[in-house]
Amino acid sequence: MGNCTSFSLPKWGFSELHRDGMVSVDEDGTHEGIKTIRIQKACEFVTNSVLCVCIITWNMNGKMSVQDVRKLVSSDRKFDLLVLGLQEAPKSGVAQVLQEAMADTHILLCQKNMQSLHMYLFGAKSSESYITEMKVDKHAVGGCGGVIGRKKGAVAMYINFSGIRMVFVSCHLAAHERKVEKRNSECQHISHSLFSKNDIHYAKSADITVWLGDLNYRLEGISSMPARKMIEENRQSKLRGKDQLLQEAEKGQVFNGYCEGTLSFKPTYKYNVGSSNYDTSYKIRVPSWTDRILFKVDHTSGLDAILSSYEALDCVRSSDHKPVKAHLCLKVGGGDA
């Protein structure tokens, strides 16, 4: 059981108004972009937190390191739910390693795979009884990303957890700097397709929606060596203005009204495998924040989401990507969104 909550979850009535699409622009054409929010260093809502959720995304680069998979979940487990999205995951073995690593505190509640796209939901051992409804879905886009079995697209989960309706979308979008419009289009296709076969559009009636994954948006307008120098000098704030995802959201193309923590950690791609050194191949790729966690709360639900951490896990070195981890505490009203 997470230390942030007593699990006395209220079952209040939620608004049934249709929300905007998951990543679309408002109907009147206005847009807010992605709102960068401050990080509350510690969960201070012991008395009125409803639920604490840990979210992790990692592109595994097709390699299985038992040690690194354990590192993803071995640290402080002051959360009730863990949502883990993996891209370019190996065919087998991950679920077993995760379950063994989490066995003391959490159980596997649900998983959804689409070839190399995996998503796992773990909950505290007493949490099964709080789930009143659960749906899973998937949507493929494009080809296999140039490598057989490495799928692009998204897998998703809808969970009604004691009256709190949550949607988690784990995606892997088109690669390469120039493919901005393709990534935008894939976001829209995924958003419109997930759960669309159901009579109830779960994705449009969620109280909180979280997108995680290798979104593959890059830094634009800067070459590799100047970018690396700025990273070495801890001047990430200067690079954020060149981030394609933030730029496209500001234009109203994707993720309207979503929130994200400050990108204070180093860009998560591309590293030499086995190290924390950026790409030294002949391509000398520009470092980029390809791996992201974004969330959107419908405040008519009475909920606020407090972000208490947003970080990259530099200690994981078996992939050319670093995992990204966020900790969200949901509470009833009165907080910063």
Q: What is the pLDDT of residues 65-122, one digit of tens each?
A: 999 999 999 767 889 999 999 999 998 899 999 999 999 999 999 999 999 999 999 9
* In-domain check, residue 216: yes
**337 within domain boundaries:** no
CATH number for 193 = 3.60.10.10
Residue 1 lies in a domain: no
* Residue 44, both tokens: 């201070």
List of residues 6+ apart from 42 with CB closer than 8 A: 308
Question: Rounded to two decimals, what is the model's pTM?
Answer: 0.89
The whole-number average pLDDT for the span 264-282 is: 97
> Is residue 64 included in any domain, yes or no?
yes
Cis ω for the linkage preceding 125 (within 30 of 0): no
d(CA 97, CA 94): 5
Mean pLDDT of 281-292: 97
DSSP bridge partners of 217:
none
Rounded to a whole number of angstroms, the distance between the first and last alpha carbons of the chain is: 25
Q: Which residues contact 315 (CB under 8 A, 6 or more apart)?
A: 71
pLDDT (0 to 100) of residue 337 = 39
What is the predicted pLDDT for the residue at 286? 97
Number of domains in the chain: 1
At residue 18 the predicted structure's pLDDT band, cuts being 50, 70 and 90, is: very low
Phi, psi of 237 (to 5 degrees): -60, -30
- Residues above pLDDT 70, as percent of the chain: 83
Q: Is residue 23 situated within a structural domain?
A: no
Q: Report yes or no on 20 lying in a domain.
A: no
pLDDT tier at 324, thresholds 50, 70, 90: very high
238 compared with 3, residue with greater pLDDT: 238
| pLDDT at res. 106 | 96
| DSSP 3-state percent helix, strand, coil across the chain (nearest 5) | 20, 30, 50
The residue range of the domain holding 161 is 35-332
d(CA 118, CA 113): 4
Lowest mean pLDDT across 69-73, 140-144, 263-267, 317-321: 140-144
Query: Cα–Cα distance between 9 and 83 in angstroms, integer?
Result: 19
Task: With residue 70 as reference, give the H or E element that holds it.
Answer: helix 66-73
Residue type, 134: M
Q: 154 in a domain, yes or no?
A: yes
Asked if residues 112 and 143 have their Cβ atoms less than 8 Å apart, the reply is no
Q: Which of 30-34, 45-49, 179-183, 305-309 has the lowest mean pLDDT?
A: 45-49
